[in-house]
Copies of this chain bind each other. A is one copy, B any other.
């Protein structure tokens, strides 16, 4: 596994394995999914698949880690360099929504299959998820400190955002009328209209819909 991660084409193959496995687990449930199901969907032999994964239990943890790495690299880290909290919130929602819609289930599995992990795996994943949640909540707190938040509980706001975004994987279809970009924009529009005081919008290059 480590050796394979060194080359980018192997990285892409591994990402494909994770995404395909995630889709099957999401459809059938983790318990009902066999390594054979995943191999078949990828057009590989079981032996070929074991070249990429170490086993079913390890696979679930690896998929979740892959999803959290994507979230960190494409959403959380770039967001960290955005000073204005309202703009940062806009970026986080848009990016996270985009990752859920194009990740084809990888991030959803993070949410749904936590009970199937070993306790040690579960602790690691839960800690990383909590860390992300705190970053999201801190951003909303900062919007509040600037006097720009409506009269809404910060924790409720943060969880409501996560709910909206995580729900995407249950209903969003790539063949539908909205692209992942557009979905990200729609969701941040609902949230920013819902959370930010009207007089505080607009200063940040946000698209204002009135």
Q: Footprint of B on A, CB under 8 Å?
A: 27-29, 31-32, 112, 115-116, 150-153, 156-157, 159-160, 162-168, 170-171, 177-178, 183, 186-187, 189-195, 197-198, 209-210
User: Chain B residues near A168 (CB, 8 Å)?
Assistant: 159, 163
CB distance A190 to B152 under 8 Å?
Answer: yes
CB distance B194 to A29 under 8 Å?
Answer: no
**Contacts A28-B115, A165-B163 hold; do A194 and B190 have CB atoms under 8 A apart?**
yes
CB distance B29 to A187 under 8 Å?
Answer: no
The contact of A186 among B29, B152, B163, B189, by CB within 8 Å, is B152
> Can you offer 12 A-B residue contacts whose CB atoms are under 8 A?
A27-B115, A31-B31, A150-B193, A150-B210, A152-B190, A153-B177, A163-B163, A163-B167, A163-B170, A164-B164, A167-B167, A190-B194
| CB proximity of A193 to chain B, nearest CB, Å | 5
CB distance B183 to A198 under 8 Å?
Answer: no
| CB proximity of A77 to chain B, nearest CB, Å | 25
**Contacts A190-B194, A209-B152 hold; do A115 and B167 have CB atoms under 8 A apart?**
no
State in angstroms the CA–CA spacing of A82 and B89 once bound together.
35
**Which residue of chain B has the shortest Cβ distance to A196 in the bound complex?**
B193
